Each structure stands twice: as structure tokens, then as C-alpha cells.
Amino acid sequence: MEKLKNLKSMAIRFNLDDGLSPDRKSIKRMLSAMEGMYLDNEKLKEMLKDGDIVVYEFYNMGLPEDSGELGFGTTILYPGKIGEEYYFTKGHFHSILETAEIYYCIKGNGYLLMESPEGDVELQELKPGVSVYVPKRYAHRSINISDKEPLISFFAYRADGGHDYKTIKTKGFRKLVVERNGKPELIDNPKWKA
């Protein structure tokens, strides 16, 4: 029994219906924190007049940021659109660019949009039971294309990878997923800055 103490294992519960954990507090990304990230920022501002809302929430287990550790948790991305753009997560590169990541979709429907600094774009559909491997060097963003269900995924990556949000915030992704004629479409981002 003594030895068990040193294993420092942990069991964290994530609810399969709502993606939330009763064991940890989630980080909530409000609509107000997404200012300037969607194409139609005027629409976002208009929506904010009716009050702030949670666009997505996710977990940070607070593990030491050591190369041997893993950061993991769920992301719950709620359904909605701003203009013709579906709700998405901010998206980021990892500070250690050579960091890969695993996503495993539990619920909902959407996409994982990925982009390398050289401009290679990858798009993978997320639906329950699908695991997506995000290669090292690729920025990544979740997009929820459902109009009613949250998109829930589990993720894991090296805990010292860090997050670089600045590049995406200032340049954006080269591509966007928008709804046209009731269907998702991948388009060039007219606001993308080289």
C-alpha cells in the first residue's frame, strides 16, 4: 500500500452527455473574449448587447508543465453562429511547435481545422468515436457545425507544449468554415494577413 502513494495516479470523471467534470473547474471562454476573431465583428458586438454567453469551456488539469507529463481534458464547444461562421475555439500553435496532440470526439459534429506555419491546411471531421491526430507544428481550432448539440472532445498533449494564441489572434487561420445554403463550406479567410 505504501508504494501506491508514490504512483500519483488520478481518476478524473468527464460526463459523456455534457462533457463536464465534477472533479475540476472548467475554464470558460465568453463571447466577449472572442472579439475580433470572427469575420463579422459587428454582429458579435450586437450579440453582446443581449449579454455575454459562454462559447466554449475546457479543462486544464494543472499538472506540472514537464516534458514527461500530459495535459488532458475535455472541450465543450456550444452550438451557434456569428453571421455565417460557426462557433469555434480561438485556436493556437503550441509554443513548442514540435508538439502533437490527440483529440477524441465524444459528442456532436464539427471539424478540426489545422494549419502549419508554411500554410498547409488540414481539415478533419469530428463525430463521436473519431480520434484526430494533430501533427506537430500545426495550429488547431475546433468548429461546431451542429445547430443544437455541443461538440465535445477529449484532448491530450505534452504538458510543456505551451500555447501561442498571438499568431492566430493577429493573423487568423488561412481558411474558415462557414455555413452556405445550409451546409458547411471551407473558404479562404478574406481577412488573413500574410
Site residues (CB under 6 A) for ligand PAN? 29, 58, 75, 89-92, 101, 140, 142, 155, 157, 163
Site for Zn ion in 69-88 (CB under 5 A): none
User: Shortest approach of ligand PAN to residue 102 CB, angstroms?
Assistant: 10
Backbone angles phi, psi at 72, to 5 degrees: -150, 165
CA distances from 192 to 5, 38, 131, 175, 176 (A): 51, 11, 29, 8, 10
Question: Torsion-angle region of residue 36: left (phi > 0), alpha (psi -120 to 50) or beta?
Answer: left
Strand ranges of the sheet holding 151-158, from the earlier edge strand across to the other edge = 27-30, 54-58, 70-77, 151-158, 101-107, 131-134
43 binds, among ligand PAN, Zn ion, none (CB under 5 to 8 A by kind): none
137 binds, among Zn ion, ligand PAN, none (CB under 5 to 8 A by kind): none
User: Shortest approach of ligand PAN to residue 24 CB, angstroms?
Assistant: 13
C-beta closer to ligand PAN: residue 5 or 95: 95
C-beta closer to ligand PAN: residue 91 or 110: 91
Q: Please say whether the beta carbons of 118 and 191 come within 8 A.
A: no
- 8-state DSSP, 64: -
User: Shortest approach of Zn ion to residue 188 CB, angstroms?
Assistant: 24
Helix (H) / strand (E) containing 154:
strand 151-158
75 binds, among ligand PAN, Zn ion, none (CB under 5 to 8 A by kind): ligand PAN
C-beta closer to Zn ion: residue 162 or 184: 162
Q: Would you tell me which residues interact with Zn ion (CB under 5 A)? A: 101
